[in-house]
Amino acid sequence: MKVIIATKNEGKVREFQELLKPYGFEPVSMTEAGVDIEIIEDGETFEENAHIKAKAVRAATGLPVIADDSGLEVEFLGGAPGIYSARYAGENATDKERNEKLLEEMYGVDRPLRGARFVCAIYFILDDKREYCVTGTLEGYIGDEPVGDGGFGYDPIFMLEDDRSLAELDESEKNEISHRANAMRKLAEELSAEK
Q: Please indicate whether residue 69 is annotated as part of the active site.
A: yes
Active-site residue, from 36, 42, 68, 69: 69
Q: Are 124 and 65 in contact (CB under 8 A)?
A: yes
Q: Are 30 and 17 in contact (CB under 8 A)?
A: no
**From edge to edge, which strands make up the β-sheet containing 2-5?**
26-29, 2-5, 65-74, 115-125, 131-142, 158-159
- Compute the distance between CA of residue 146 and CA of residue 98 in angstroms, rounded to an integer: 11
- Compute the distance between CA of residue 34 and CA of residue 40 in angstroms, rounded to an integer: 19
Listed in sequence order, the residues at least 6 apart from 23 whose beta carbon sits closer than 8 Å to its beta carbon are: 188, 191
What amino acid positions are annotated as catalytic residues?
A: 69
